[in-house]
Amino acid sequence: MPRAQRGEPVTLLLNVETPRPLWTLPPDTEARLAERFPQVRVLKARDKASLLANIAEAQVLYTWHLPREAMSVARRLRWVHTPAAGVDHLLHPSLRHSDVILTNSRGLAGDAMADHVFALILAMARRLPESLRFAAHQRWGQEEIWAAASPPTALAGKVLGIIGFGGVGRRLAVRARAFGMKVIASKRTEEKPPNGVASVVTPDRHAELLAESDYVVLCAPLTPETRGLIGAKDLRRMKKTACLVNVARGEMVMEAALVRALREGWIAGAALDVFQREPLPKNSVLWRIPRLLITPHTAGTYPEHMARATDLFLENLDLFLRGKPKRLKNVVDKARGY
């Protein structure tokens, strides 16, 4: 790939405009760029067409999305940064096999996602969805909740199994310990368990984790190894009183198997924030499955995310312009996918 010569102006293409203010650039970003990096030429793309029209000039791209066809014309591109943590939607073969650096914003949504997971766990443990349905119809519902196969339960002493022990998983473990839960986790490589975590296992021991856990939480990146991670045989390994929570990617759970597991009582409940198809279609069977709690891919949402992601990008841009690409934060291992 061509390298910028010393003194050559660097062109930055910004492609983070969205119809939703929550997920667009902070309004002072361009002024901050002009003041801090006057040597950088800034271009803006508001849609796919303008991205494709301008990417041939860019050495740096800050983007939510990267169309497959973009890499064929991005001959000067050296570095891509995304405000997202997940990069599976960016890793087309043309980017994966190039020497373009990819960085992400992992870690920034960890607290929000861990809070969301615990909101879902508490909702299932205390049977809040049922209470809300009764309240909507002005019904007391106490006897029905007491008589349910899975009545309200306490979290103390329960086992939380975390699949994906990265930033989200570690924050989740801290919250679980505060509730008196036992924590077991899995990650790709072996690790000595940190304080308060009973064990950290590798994926070859997922069957043990599933069998022991009262709540199984998926917060791993989507990779070829994790696609379809939870299917029928995995759900059958879980306790009948256990619940599954997915805040990672929808493609990690085989939805047809989960529907059957909930209908036939293999597990007690599930909560999904992500789906194989988003937005979830109105005719999806998932809307009609009892004991399935749905949130609309909001686990990582909080107002300060874009400001923090842009601060990270500007910090990396300073390193990049000073000729220190190897020191960039949050470099993605494109072969592994995270």
- Residue 191 bears catalytic tag: no
pLDDT at residue 9 in the model: 84
Share the mean pLDDT of the chain: 96
User: How confident is residue 329, by pLDDT bands cut at 50, 70 and 90?
Assistant: very high
Residue extents of the structural domains in the chain: 10-108+302-327, 110-294
pTM of the model: 0.95
What are the tens digits of pLDDT across the range 136-179?
A: 999 999 999 999 989 999 999 999 999 999 999 999 999 999 99
Residues 116, 171, 206, 249: which is the catalytic one?
249
- Residue 297 bears catalytic tag: yes
What are the tens digits of pLDDT across the range 207-257?
A: 999 999 999 999 999 999 999 999 999 999 999 999 999 999 999 999 999
What are the tens digits of pLDDT across the range 258-284?
A: 999 999 999 999 999 999 999 999 999
Residues 278, 304, 327, 336: which is the catalytic one?
278
Class at the top of the CATH hierarchy for domain 110-294: alpha beta
| 159 CA to centre of own chain | 22
Distance CA 77, CA 4 (A): 10
Strand order in the sheet with 199-201: 199-201, 182-186, 159-163, 215-218, 243-246, 269-272, 292-294
Tell me which fold the domain 10-108+302-327 belongs to: Rossmann fold (3.40.50)
Residues 126, 175, 297, 308: which is the catalytic one?
297
What mean pLDDT is predicted for residues 175-184?
A: 98
| Owner of token pair 């005719």 | 283
The answer for 136, left when phi > 0, alpha when psi is -120 to 50, beta otherwise, is alpha
- Whether 10-108+302-327 shares its CATH topology with 110-294 is answered yes
pLDDT of 4 above 80: no
* Residues 42 and 10 sit within 8 Å (Cβ to Cβ): no
Planar angle of CA 167, 170, 171, nearest 5 degrees: 85
Structure-token pair, residue 213: 């856990």
pLDDT at residue 5 in the model: 43
- Residue 106 bears catalytic tag: no
